[in-house]
A and B are shown apart, each in its own frame.
Chain A
């Protein structure tokens, strides 16, 4: 495990897949690009463990998108969208997260 590969947390989704959020993704991509998520990494974890919708990513076959509203304390009316790339059937990692007002119409719903 190299520098930057340290997971901030590891959670399991409803299909018992292990999903990690790495420090470098969080600090160097998500927080720097989407300032409103700073200090809300626990909210990102909640989206994965208790999502409102899960979709197949519109562009990448090995990615899924998790959505949940009432995740961000300042913007409960928005969805927090979290995209996960799965390297296997059992494990994946968060690659991006951001606030959005709706589920993307180009994504195919996986759950519920």
Chain B
């Protein structure tokens, strides 16, 4: 099933990259029901789509493992893209592992997530999901808060002045 592809790009040709100036989203435009968090274990990538997955996106690097996703036309931020989520992001910000509670999981089971959370957070994670269900008003609300907490933690590390507060 090999594919033969011969068209050529000259590696020494000067290439003028597109300058992208990410624009902040309006907090009031976020519908918590449309937020999608997904995690792929194989690539160790976590994606947060704040406005659903209907947008085409460009991933603009803002830090070692963190990208903001913007729309190609307006360059408005519509999500976040984390490469090396467990390898790097959780290493630096252990509380970020809570995002996996709200993620569509691929290549990892909820039981494996629990085990990882136990290893990462220790006693803080014991019985946490049950307690959370008992006291939280809705999963959507808590998912939004988990994303906000992650972004606030990253804000203390990188220049994310263009990203508005989510909560």
Contact = CB atoms under 8 A, between A and B. Distances in A.
Interface of A: 7-12, 25, 28-29, 32-36, 42, 45-46, 49-53, 58-60, 68-70, 74-75, 77-79, 81, 83, 95-96, 98-102, 104-106, 111-112
B158 to A, nearest CB: 12
A100 B7 CA distance: 21
B45 A45 contact: no
Interface string B1-38: 11101111101110111111000000000000000001
B12 A29 contact: no
B3 A45 contact: yes
Contacts of A29: 40, 42-43, 45, 106
B11 A102 contact: no
A59 B84 contact: yes
Contact of B3 (A11, A59, A99): A11
Given A46-B5, A100-B60, 14 more contacts: A9-B1, A9-B2, A10-B2, A12-B2, A32-B38, A51-B9, A52-B13, A60-B84, A69-B9, A77-B18, A96-B45, A99-B57, A101-B58, A112-B11
A105 B61 contact: yes
A11 B45 contact: no
A100 B60 CA distance: 6
Contacts of A32: 38, 53
Contacts of A74: 56, 72
**Complex A-B, nearest 4 residue pairs according to Cβ-Cβ distance, in ascending order:** A36-B56, A59-B84, A95-B43, A77-B18
B102 interface: no
A82 to B, nearest CB: 11
A61 B18 CA distance: 29
Nearest to B60: A101
Given A36-B57, A95-B43, A69 B15 contact: yes
A77 B1 CA distance: 30
A75 B17 CA distance: 11
A35 B38 CA distance: 14
Contacts of B7: 46, 50
Contacts of B55: 35
B47 interface: yes
Given A59-B87, A59-B88, A99 B43 contact: no
Contacts of B54: 35
Given A45-B5, A69-B15, A59 B64 contact: yes
Interface in B49-87: 53-61, 64-65, 67, 72, 81, 83-84, 87
B64 A58 contact: yes
Contacts of A11: 2-3, 5
